[in-house]
Chains A and B, each alone.
Chain A
Amino acid sequence: MSFRALCIVFSFMTFFLYVVLVGSLFYFLDRTVFVERLLSERALFSIQLSILAASVATLISVIVAVPSAFALSRFAFPGRGIVDTMLELPMIVSPAALGAMILIFFNNPVGEWIQTNWQQFVFTVYGIILAQFVTTCGIATRLIKAAMDEIPVRYEAVARSLGATPAKAFLTITLPMSKRGILAASILTWAKALGEFGATMTVAGSMAMNTETLPIAIFMRLSTADIEGTVALILILISIGITLLYAVRLLTRNTHYA
């Protein structure tokens, strides 16, 4: 077998792994139960909450990530290496541990003060958004930085030579040129936030019709042996995820700057 064929076999092995897993869901799929579960008040609440929380968390993540990514992509400053490394914290620390860290923070004097005088996070929707923000912000920054790294600094240099201030060059050149990368990063961040379970569960708990996001609902259905309900919710999550990932592929193709 040629090297090329061997590599293709491996890629199909990975593909079939997921196809088999998704396919096995259909073994337990009962159309009547699927429609009933999908249209149940509790499922619809979970879907709405998941979409709302993921959207808000993504919006905040991207607002923070864009300037951070630009700084890391363009400027040399003290501590840049440490900041860059810390962005990977959500990737190396498990989501449950991140959630535990958030809980511990809200049990120290500063956290307690915030909860008492400003906003209650633990066991609330705000806790879900915070947990999702903490797990996605670093990834969003890393993805947007990668998009900005693709854009040669010369474009900004030319813009500035034509009279643009650094801020104007960023707003009129770098930002529009990295638009597709930022959009793709936003979608991936949203998908990651939508599927987030560990940190959300730890910070916000699993209160039905209150803090029950889609992944938490899946866990709750499974823990009560409601397989049909679990399958219905998983298929919804997969449908949303696959649609988004395909959108990312469409957005990121043919983007290349010399």
Chain B
Amino acid sequence: MLEATGISVKVGHFLLNKVSLAVKKSHCHVILGPTGSGKTLLLESLMGLRKPDTGRVLIDGVDSTGLPIERRRLSYVPQDLALFPHLTVRDNIIYGPRVSGTRNDTNVDELVSSLGIEHILNRATHNLSGGERQRVALARALASECSYLLLDEPLSSLHESLRKELWFLLKDLLKRYGLSILMVTHDLEEAFFLGDFISVMIDGRIRQEGNKGDIYNRPDDLEVARFLGIRNLFQGELTEITGNVLTVFSDELGASVRASAMTCSNHSRPDFEVDAKVVLGVRSENMEILRRDHTAKASYNKIGGVIETILDKAASFLVTVRPHCFSACQRTLEAELPNHVFHDLRLEKGRNVTVFLHEEKVFVIPYESRR
């Protein structure tokens, strides 16, 4: 296991603040965060490129905080890949085994074959396409047979289709070689596709960590929720706690909404009390706009409103609904509907609709976390 315990590094005004994480063997651990959140700084600290002010780095249980880079056995693929321009593809790939005296041609041949780069081995690196460069960088990192692979947004510069092709390749390599990967990215889709475990980093701190389902459905605080692209976030007051169900009245929605306690953040789950100020949220893709004959649905979590805008996103439609309130509501609800659902409902601007919030899809965050 690759562990960081309480790593702090100050660079200028930026502080990487007591970061702890653990990368399990044969897992892909993703550090997900916006640009400038300190992800690369953390990787550099784990690598030994930066000396942490406090904290320790443990590699397979051994304190490696003071070890030089070459003795940590952590392969590193930086954002720009840093392929050695004066070496051919083959020499790039065998660089690690050659300098450490562990060259094994059979392993290298197998690796090259599994990455599909046999035909470019004698080429210079500046003659490679974007996808070929990524494959060569991965082959070079894997050929050194290090214990852990550290990837610093290595796919960020590629276009969509190539990026997705390499996601599948990485998934395949993960399974085939039982790789242990620590990857940083700001791309939500990439993180949820590749990550077995995700740590969300914002402003130099790990704000939440868990499996992808936890992170996706149960953000711990407002900043994490916003970073994850959740726009339906409404202030409210906890009015009732019944068993596993919380009821929140939101002025911003002009309605009471029930949420299953299971969907409240479990990482820093507070002891909610009645009358506590909270924020409730729901992903736009988890909102449902009901048919006019929606009698089968529960009688709660239904919010009436009028369609304000409809945005065609080609693969789906984003519909904003302004709730009917006693006083004019300042906020709108956003619902993302697949094309066939949108067309089936025959929605149009200005039409009165009822939005249904699934109890188990609504999450509740303490108000204190709102900044």
Contact = CB atoms under 8 A, between A and B. Distances in A.
Contact of B70 (A164, A179, A257): A164
Interface of A is mostly: helix
Most buried by A among B73, B76, B77: B76
Interface stretch (A96-104, A137-145, A165-173): A165-173
Given A157-B78, A158-B78, A163 B99 contact: yes
B82 A162 contact: no
A179 B68 CA distance: 27
A139 to B, nearest CB: 26
Contacts of B82: 152, 154-155, 157-158
Contacts of B69: 157, 160-161
A20 interface: no
A158 B74 CA distance: 10
Interface residues of B, number: 27
B99 A161 contact: no
Given A154-B80, A168-B99, A172-B99, A161 B85 contact: no
B268 to A, nearest CB: 35
Nearest to B144: A162
B84 A155 contact: yes
Most buried by A among B73, B76, B82, B146: B82
Contacts of B100: 162-164
B99 A159 contact: yes
Given A168-B99, A172-B99, A161 B70 contact: yes
Contacts of B74: 161
Contact of B85 (A163, A165, A166, A177): A177
Nearest to A161: B76
A172 B141 CA distance: 17
B80 A258 contact: yes
A160 B144 CA distance: 11
Nearest to A172: B99
A160 B140 CA distance: 13
A154 B68 contact: no
B144 A163 contact: yes
A155 B78 CA distance: 9
B49 interface: yes
Interface string B73-104: 11111101010111000000001100110100
A176 interface: yes
A160 B48 CA distance: 10
Contacts of A172: 95, 99
A168 B95 CA distance: 11
B222 interface: no
A176 B95 CA distance: 14
A224 B96 CA distance: 65
Contact of A176 (B86, B99, B140): B86
B95 A162 contact: yes
A86 to B, nearest CB: 29
A165 B72 CA distance: 12
Interface string A160-197: 11111110100011001101000000000000000000
A158 B95 CA distance: 10
B47 interface: yes
Contacts of B73: 163
A177 B77 CA distance: 19
Contacts of A179: 86
B44 to A, nearest CB: 8
B254 to A, nearest CB: 54
Contacts of A157: 47, 49, 69, 76, 78, 82
Interface of A: 152, 154-155, 157-166, 168, 172-173, 176-177, 179, 257-258
28 contacts: A152-B80, A152-B82, A154-B78, A154-B82, A157-B69, A157-B76, A158-B76, A158-B77, A159-B99, A160-B69, A160-B70, A161-B70, A161-B76, A162-B70, A162-B75, A162-B140, A162-B141, A163-B70, A164-B99, A165-B70, A165-B99, A166-B68, A172-B99, A173-B84, A177-B85, A177-B86, A257-B85, A258-B80
- 6 residue pairs, one from A and one from B, having the closest CB atoms: A163-B100, A162-B96, A161-B76, A160-B69, A164-B99, A154-B82
